[in-house]
Structure 1
């Protein structure tokens, strides 16, 4: 693809559409800007050659116009000397030179039109480049803004989660306190009342048995006991 056709493609391209279709708009805008800058460098380099060629053509035009005037002056001189044959020959040389003058004039006109068109396209490309850089700046700003918002959102969610855990821990502590209060009410009540009474009765039976054995022993020791 030639430089100028590539420049025309860039100028006619819709940057917004390219960015909308891109998976990575920031990468795409960097590539677009790089392409525009490279194209501008090449176009300006080519423009310098065109301008140099125009200057050379302009100098050539001055030379051939001067030659045409010179042959006309020679024809006039020949006429004054009565040498019409020489005047005719000089005018023939002048006409040949004038054809070259017309050719160089046509070349200069075409070159001037090309330079004018080139200047217009370069200005358009420069404007496109400025727009692309503005979009790049806007994308970078949007990226930073989104990153900041995401960071803030994450912090908010973290704080909300921490608060939820704190409330849950507070609820757990309340439940622990209530359960402790409930358990404290049952302290000392683990032994059933009936079992305690039975144990007390056993102790009473033991005393009675001891007392009974003592009496029996005393009676057996008395004379005449059977």
Structure 2
């Protein structure tokens, strides 16, 4: 049966290894899923046909067993009537039916083995499909992430974003310029304040000196008058 080879090839395929080597894993996975589904459909159709054939052969064996019992009774009756020739003929028919039953039973055994195998293959194939669909979900998630990243990258490279960033830089530069001016004013005020203090200090010293001189002059005049 060609279906066994076909299903076996699909089941034994290493999905992960094939996808890693594929140039377009998503496309290959879709093709594999279609191939698996076709194989599974064939598998189920063949299993149904085998089960039908099993019922037919089982029914044929049951009918043959009825014939076997019939010829056994004929042979016994012929012996009772002392008709050995008829008894031999009945036994020959019984032997023929018995051989047919043996042949049918061997055929049924082979058929049942095939049914067990194809049922097992169907189950394994379904498991493979679950694995492949899980991989398909992962690929779709990765694909969506890549698209999202690409969209973000495209937006970051757009003229609007570039213009907004440029405006932000201009505003930032203006703020830094104002801060620099404030710092410069602070330094100027500090320097001016220091200069004024020093100037006042010098003036105070001159006043103090002039006051001392005035006091000394008055004291001298008073001494002369006395």
TM-score (norm 2): 0.69
CA distance in 1, matches of 2:71, 2:52: 29
Q: Report how far residue 156 of structure 1 moved.
A: 5.3
Match of 1:102 in 2: 102
Secondary structure of 1:23's match?
Answer: coil
Q: Report how far residue 154 of structure 1 moved.
A: 4.5
Q: Deviations over 1:7-48 (max 9, x none)?
A: 111100000011111111111111011011111112222222
Match of 1:166 in 2: 167
CA distance in 2, matches of 1:82, 1:10: 66
- Equivalences for 1:67-146 in 2 at 5 Å? 67-146=67-146
CA distance in 1, matches of 2:68, 2:87: 13
Give the structure with higher Rg (CA).
1
Cα 1:77–1:127 change in 2 (3 A) is same
Secondary structure of 1:40's match?
Answer: helix
Q: Report how far residue 110 of structure 1 moved.
A: 0.4
Give unpaired runs (5+ residues) of structure 2.
176-226
Root mean square deviation, CA, Å: 2.8
Match of 1:38 in 2: 38
CA distance in 1, matches of 2:78, 2:172: 126
Q: Deviations over 1:111-152 (max 9, x none)?
A: 000000010001100111111111111211221123223334
- Equivalences for 1:9-48 in 2 at 5 Å? 9-48=9-48
CA distance in 1, matches of 2:36, 2:146: 28
Match of 1:185 in 2: none
Choose 97-106 or 36-45, whichever is displaced more.
Answer: 36-45
Q: Report how far residue 80 of structure 1 moved.
A: 1.5
CA distance in 1, matches of 2:162, 2:6: 55
Choose 94-103 or 159-168, whichever is displaced more.
Answer: 159-168
Match of 1:186 in 2: none
